[in-house]
């Protein structure tokens, strides 16, 4: 008798993200890296694409999702699942898009915005890597784009890490042979679906048979759900309007060590400092729009992932969240940090529902929730902070000079902020709805100013000129010294 194949179904958390597509909101995530392109470019400034493909092909094969398709079986055969693509051509996923001269930072970000709008071809694996030559000093942008159903932030970082090397002269090996597994038959899908339904019924019966255990589990996660469902609604501000398909990006450069020193000085975490700076950016943005910020508190959904990601291994979504009140009305950044640190410390002790839990399954299947989301009042914005690699990395022999994360606005969340550490840097990206938040640069300047205010007592007057909201892509000097950090 043939061995039963284990089929990789989407989890409830994955399905929750997949259904956004039906309502016109892109859930594509990714990152923008700036490379030293000296080894990537020919004399005319063109990318040596064949060499890049030869270098990356064996590394891509180590990430199963990069060569799999999303397959939606017909009704009665279960949830969508991952299947191997019948054929896979790396050249369809790693492409070149030249940036018109002079190739400044604004043009680079606009190019990423245009590429982010392009829908994926569902007949291919749901990821792309765009190499973007045309920057000054023979630098090259690298824009990695993935559908969110493929990975959350840490999983995306792990997938990208599988393409990277720790040295510039890493050996180029031949791509191992790969034979795609056949698409599951109708019988396999039906048997797998019935097996999963039986398992769910068994779990449900176990919950009824052991009600005290079920109540204990529910009681543990109730405070976390109360943050979303029963706390005071988020205040009405101009941050919450239904978003369109056009987005605007801006980036803020930072250094990790000064932020760690600020966190240590005030018995806080790096993430607390990031949230404090975000609150400062919101204060400046809303005040510039003529809104009264006195006493204003905004609600941020801080994303949490349960991945312990290793390059090439993490996949899918294991989401969690923490609702954090941001005291935008507090003008003093130190008092703002103290308040946020106290809130996050108390909320971190609460048990968070696991991905794929019963409530996740319920919400994922209720389409009415998606229609109501553009009018939600639970949260004003989303903030994500992903720890990245502490050492310098290389893509096909080219040093990664900087890396910036990218998340999309959706629903009525017109502003999404993502932070990522890499090789001594802590860089942030603000992605905003073009129509509702065309002034996102005001937010970025306020965020940078808040960081400077917190760091100035530690670094002195050098802080203000060290890193800022740059108008063009800088040419870094020596690579930053790697440091292992605790977040």
Contact call for residues 98 and 134 (beta carbons, < 8 A): yes
Residue 467 scores a pLDDT above 50: no
User: What ranges do the domains of the chain cover?
Assistant: 9-169+184-477
| Highest mean pLDDT: which range of 120-129, 369-378, 470-479 | 120-129
Q: Give the CA distances from residue 134 to residues 37, 111, 257, 318, 426, in Å, rounded to whole numbers and listed in that order.
A: 10, 12, 32, 37, 25
- In angstroms, the CA 461 to CA 455 distance is 10
- Strand-strand pairing, 298-305 and 381-386: parallel
What average pLDDT does the structure give for the chain?
A: 83
Q: Give the per-residue pLDDT at 232.
A: 75
Q: Give the per-residue pLDDT at 189.
A: 95
Q: Is 414 helix (H, G, I), strand (E, B) or coil?
A: coil
Who has greater pLDDT, 63 or 15?
63
Contact call for residues 482 and 390 (beta carbons, < 8 A): yes
Residue 463 scores a pLDDT above 70: no
Contact call for residues 384 and 328 (beta carbons, < 8 A): no
Nearest to 69 by CA among 90, 84, 88, 47: 84
Residue 486 scores a pLDDT above 50: no
- In angstroms, the CA 253 to CA 148 distance is 25
- In angstroms, the CA 143 to CA 166 distance is 20
Read off the pLDDT of residues 170-189 as tens digits, 9 standing for 90 and up: 988 877 788 999 999 999 99
The DSSP secondary structure of 234-272, one letter per residue, reads: PPP-TTBS---S-EEEEEE--BHHHHHHHHHHTT--HHH
Prior bond of 101 cis (ω within 30°): no
Residue 465 scores a pLDDT above 50: no
Read off the pLDDT of residues 360-415 as tens digits, 9 standing for 90 and up: 555 555 555 556 667 788 899 999 998 889 999 999 999 999 999 999 898 899 99
Lowest mean pLDDT among 289-293, 334-338, 360-364, 464-468: 464-468
Through-space distance between the first and last CA atoms of the chain, rounded to whole angstroms: 51
Options 3.30.559.10, 3.30.559.30, 1.25.40.10, 3.30.830.10; CATH for 9-169+184-477 is 3.30.559.30
- In angstroms, the CA 305 to CA 384 distance is 10
> What is the mean pLDDT of the segment spanning 342-347?
90
Lowest mean pLDDT among 224-228, 378-382, 478-482: 478-482
Who has greater pLDDT, 324 or 211?
324
Residue 290 scores a pLDDT above 60: yes
Q: Give the per-residue pLDDT at 51.
A: 94
Residue 462 scores a pLDDT above 50: no
Residue 96 scores a pLDDT above 70: yes
| Highest mean pLDDT: which range of 21-30, 199-208, 319-328, 383-392 | 383-392
Vertex 128, ends 127 and 130: CA angle to 5°? 160
Residue 449 scores a pLDDT above 70: yes
Q: Which helix (H) or strand (E) holds 142?
A: strand 139-146
- In angstroms, the CA 92 to CA 57 distance is 12
Lowest mean pLDDT among 107-121, 213-227, 386-400, 459-473: 459-473
Q: Give the CA distances from residue 92 to residues 11, 47, 120, 127, 145, in Å, rounded to whole numbers and listed in that order.
A: 27, 16, 11, 10, 13
Q: How confident is the model at residue 304 (pLDDT cuts 50, 70, 90)?
A: confident
The pTM of the full predicted model, rounded to 2 decimals, is: 0.85
Helices (H), 130-269: 153-161, 186-209, 211-229, 256-265
- In angstroms, the CA 101 to CA 475 distance is 16
């Amino acid at each position: 008798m043939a061995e039963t194949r284990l089929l990789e179904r989407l989890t409830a958390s994955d399905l929750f993200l997949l259904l956004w597509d039906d309502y016109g909101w892109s859930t594509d995530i990714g990152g923008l890296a700036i490379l030293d392109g000296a080894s990537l470019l020919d004399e005319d400034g063109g990318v040596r694409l064949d060499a890049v493909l030869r270098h990356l092909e064996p590394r891509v094969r180590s990430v199963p999702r990069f060569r799999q398709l999303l397959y939606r079986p017909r009704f009665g055969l279960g949830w969508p699942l991952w299947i191997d693509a019948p054929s896979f051509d790396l050249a369809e996923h790693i492409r070149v898009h030249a940036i018109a001269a002079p190739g400044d930072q604004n043009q680079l970000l606009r190019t990423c915005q245009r590429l982010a709008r392009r829908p994926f071809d569902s007949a291919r694996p749901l990821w792309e890597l765009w190499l973007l030559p045309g920057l000054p000093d023979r630098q090259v942008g690298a824009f990695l784009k993935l559908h969110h159903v493929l990975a959350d932030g840490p999983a995306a970082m792990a997938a990208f890490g599988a393409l990277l090397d720790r040295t510039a002269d890493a050996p180029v090996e031949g791509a191992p042979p790969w034979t795609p597994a056949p698409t599951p038959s109708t019988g396999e899908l039906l048997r797998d679906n019935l097996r999963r339904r039986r398992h769910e019924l068994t779990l449900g019966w176990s919950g009824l048979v052991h009600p005290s255990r079920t109540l204990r589990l529910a009681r543990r996660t109730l405070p976390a759900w109360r943050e979303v469902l029963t706390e005071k609604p988020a205040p009405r501000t101009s941050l919450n309007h239904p978003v369109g398909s056009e987005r605007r990006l801006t980036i803020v450069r930072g250094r990790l060590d000064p932020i760690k020193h600020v966190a240590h000085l005030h018995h806080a975490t790096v993430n607390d400092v990031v949230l404090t700076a975000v609150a400062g950016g919101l204060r400046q943005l809303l005040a510039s729009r003529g809104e009264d910020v006195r006493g204003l508190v905004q609600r941020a959904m801080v994303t949490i992932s349960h991945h312990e990601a290793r390059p090439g291994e993490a996949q899918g979504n294991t989401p969690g969240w923490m609702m954090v009140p941001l005291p935008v009305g507090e003008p003093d950044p130190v008092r703002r940090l103290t308040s946020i640190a106290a809130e996050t410390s108390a909320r971190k002790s609460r048990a968070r529902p696991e991905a794929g839990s019963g409530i996740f399954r319920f919400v994922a299947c209720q389409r009415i929730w998606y229609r109501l989301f553009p009018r939600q009042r639970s949260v004003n914005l989303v903030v994500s902070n992903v720890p990245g690699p502490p050492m310098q990395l290389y893509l096909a022999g080219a040093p990664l000079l900087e890396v910036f994360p990218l998340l999309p606005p959706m629903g009525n969340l017109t502003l999404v902020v993502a932070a990522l550490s890499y090789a001594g840097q802590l860089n942030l990206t603000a992605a905003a709805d073009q129509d509702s938040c065309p002034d996102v640069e005001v937010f970025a300047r306020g965020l940078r100013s808040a960081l400077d205010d917190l760091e100035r007592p530690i670094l002195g007057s050098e802080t203000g000129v060290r890193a800022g909201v740059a108008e063009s892509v800088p040419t870094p000097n020596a690579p930053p010294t790697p440091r292992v950090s605790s977040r």
